[in-house]
A and B are shown apart, each in its own frame.
Chain A
């Protein structure tokens, strides 16, 4: 564990709220609007941290603990994600299992807190959330299996940034499929169109938004920050697959950071040009992602 390993988590902590701002700005651009400032999420977090809180009488300690467990889980997962060729703080064989597990713990806490309010809105969001994540998990793990096979190693820090390895023509098809699968998983896990609409406030169409309907003040700040961090982590995963880790560390870090911001822009573009899918079509999308990842694995078998 060298001191350079502190950089990925620090960058994540500092820069992750930038990503939602970029996405919103991109969507505004496509809609012909000016859109909110790039640093809007930072301002929102600051505002929320300075507010009081209102709790429903129906809720118990579970509701109060939910956002904290959620954010703690995502923060711990950030310790596992490498960036731009710099290995993560915690790296060991099969560490992506812990990564997925920590995110699952965060999701569990959010869902249970949502059910604590005793409202049908939160129940609806919770039900859809567990449904989609149950289908997204296999896709994620199969994609990681394909990646592990290709890289011949089982740790995130060594699996990512491998595009610099084998000759491109042999590696490209499998990697392309993995990237597509991971992008679909990213969209599903982070509540982006076409799976969910982060801007809508119609109860019948919300998933993540509706689960946090009753939170306010610092709790909502934790949730918002956690969502931004989760988006950063998934984008880092995709960027790590696509981008080779060449040259000196500072150069690849800079390149990766730029690629992350570019990734946010791409997500914004996807959100702008696609419409939200009907909820019954989303499972097909996720299973399709899983199938693509499995194909990548089979291609990597040779």
Chain B
């Protein structure tokens, strides 16, 4: 525990140091990144230890805040989320040193690192806190620090707008969390998580209300649909290493919160699992469809985060169904798949955002339709992006396949054995996950293919340059992580034993046997992967041998006899996604602006598509306009005279006193 405290202290000191010292930007960046890296290294040790042994470490100090207590506990669930948080924070920080170098002369970098360290500190505290007041303070710290990071380029109007959307959304979610904690605190009489886990609210109305509050509150942070509207705005607006951190780990604190909340509530009724499955399906399918319709690489990745959160929600739903029906296999597979996907997503989404940052850094734009051919100019970035793309599409042998395999195994298991409505819902999970996987593969072949392959479609791509080594190493390490989890899947899943005991509450022997039923198939998967690699190598050798004595020439791509093919004739991202977006146009509501070619020898024509977020346009915008109309009636209260505001305060005080003294 002391190591962890030391890590947190280093984060705080690093934050203060970067903002108080005035040094040239470069050494400031190294100071900030170094502090985060050291803190991460220190913090990972106790986390790994707790995960391996299952013991719980805690630290408790009184705090003058009413109802508050500085109570932090490191148990396997917190440790499971803490590890990817710290690792990705460190890697993204190192990446940020190189990425922010462009801004060195133009802007003070101290505040960026200050808020970055505070964000990591806030996330770590959220994962460790066991007192509701401390949790909420850390939650707010996380939100505010990330707000300032998102609005780093505040001179751009789009970034300012994104910052506001983010701030409002996160506070709306926090309001629900506040209600959740207040209700639970009033029911049990304490603000202590361990008390809540022991007694909790079981049965009937209160538990259901609490569940709904938790889903909305934590779901806003996680990015469930329809609370996701801030994600596609905030993540693209932030600098790339911050986007990686936010998409990779910050939204997972929402998932952590939901899991922790589930430990406070008693045995779940069936509709909880169904609700999460419903949310998972909508987030997953709609998320990937919106991703397919985007033109900006980071916005595409942000919508993909929504989709992956949907997959995690599907796993949670399957696990909850297992808990409701008392099937340990379903619980272990469902929760196990969801938890593993949390780590996997942190790895490959972090990798992809860092890659997008490399593209922005090297080529100067993120518009997919203006890029192309970057694979030759940025080979390392392209290779790691490819690893990320294969991983996120859930293809063997990488890690995305393993977590989706677990969730699908659970669904198939339940679908084959359980009865009635549950089997049908699990069938929906199966069909949904298959569709999501297929659409994700479509989306990432598009993203990787159009950006990195082919020829540059505009000048941006022609003069692109590769990222420096500070930017390359984190991407390589993350790619290695994806490959490692894919190849060592049985070991990794076996290592989840302590977390699963924590989350499912099943006795250790049951968890062990269910886990063996999961790791056995995974061992076969690894064997098949080994066979795949061997076959690939054999084919490579065969091909080399066959081509050794033959003529191998280079020429142009076959153009079917076009006299002057140009790079603009290649398929664009919009064209690639057009069949899918047309099929689902009811859900996407894409707006087309067409200027058709006219005349016999047309000179110009143009097509622009825009896919605004349906939830934002049809759900939130009318609601906020209505609220604005209603609240503007009260505007007469704001007359700008300070002394009348003091009068309001005084009157309220007097009224309260009079009421108390009656």
Contacts and interface: CB of A to CB of B under 8 A. Distances in A.
Check whether chain A touches chain B (CB < 8 angstroms): yes
Interface of A: 49-60, 62, 68-69, 71-73, 75-76, 79-80, 90-95, 97-98, 100-102, 104-105, 107-108, 111-112, 115-124, 126-128, 130-131, 133-138, 140-142, 144-145, 148-149, 152-154, 203, 213-214, 217-219, 222, 279, 283, 290, 294, 297-298, 301
Main secondary structure of the interface of B (DSSP, over half): helix
Contacts of A130: 438, 441-442, 445-446, 580
B441 A126 contact: no
A149 B423 contact: yes
B427 A297 contact: yes
B170 interface: no
A136 B382 CA distance: 29
Contacts of B553: 52-55
B567 interface: yes
A98 B576 CA distance: 27
Given A126-B449, A218-B546, A145 B415 contact: yes
B438 A93 contact: no
A115 B453 contact: yes
B223 to A, nearest CB: 22
A283 B583 contact: yes
A74 B222 CA distance: 37
Interface in B424-442: 424, 427, 430-435, 437-439, 441-442
A68 B540 CA distance: 7
Contacts of B520: 92-93
Contacts of A217: 546-547, 550
Contacts of A101: 394-396, 401, 405
A247 to B, nearest CB: 28
Interface of B: 372-373, 375-376, 382, 386, 390, 393-396, 401, 405, 408-409, 412-413, 415-417, 419-420, 423-424, 427, 430-435, 437-439, 441-442, 445-446, 448-450, 453-455, 517, 520-521, 524-525, 527-528, 531-533, 535-536, 539-540, 542-543, 546-547, 550-560, 567, 569-571, 575-580, 583
Contact of A294 (B431, B445, B525, B547): B431
B532 A142 contact: no
A137 B288 CA distance: 16
Given A52-B547, A55-B552, A95-B521, 13 more contacts: A97-B408, A98-B528, A104-B438, A105-B396, A108-B441, A118-B453, A123-B576, A127-B571, A136-B438, A138-B435, A141-B433, A148-B416, A217-B550
A35 B431 CA distance: 41
A50 B395 CA distance: 33
B405 A97 contact: yes
Given A94-B521, A127-B576, A141-B434, A76 B532 contact: yes
A117 B438 contact: no
A250 to B, nearest CB: 27
Q: When A and B form their complex, which 4 residue pairs have the shortest distance between CB atoms, in order from nearest?
A: A123-B571, A134-B438, A115-B449, A118-B454
B585 to A, nearest CB: 12
A204 B556 CA distance: 21
A131 B576 CA distance: 9
Given A68-B540, A101-B394, A121-B560, A133 B554 contact: no
Given A105-B395, A135-B438, A80 B445 contact: no
A90 B533 CA distance: 16
Majority secondary structure, A binding face: helix
Nearest to B411: A145
A55 B557 CA distance: 8
A94 B445 contact: no
B503 to A, nearest CB: 22
Contact of A138 (B434, B449, B450, B551): B434
A108 B550 CA distance: 29
10 contacts: A50-B550, A54-B554, A58-B556, A94-B408, A94-B413, A108-B445, A127-B575, A131-B442, A152-B417, A218-B543
A152 B416 CA distance: 6
B555 A104 contact: no
A49 B548 CA distance: 12
Given A90-B524, A127-B575, A71 B453 contact: no
Contacts of A127: 571, 575-579
A137 B435 CA distance: 7
Given A53-B550, A116-B453, A68 B536 contact: yes
B325 to A, nearest CB: 15
A141 B448 contact: no
Contacts of A137: 434-435, 437-438
B439 A76 contact: no
B451 to A, nearest CB: 10
A92 B552 CA distance: 43
Nearest to B417: A152
Contacts of A95: 521, 524
Contacts of A149: 415-416, 423
A141 B411 CA distance: 11
Contact of A116 (B394, B405, B454): B454
Contact of B521 (A93, A131, A219): A93
B543 A219 contact: yes
Contact of A53 (B547, B559, B571): B547
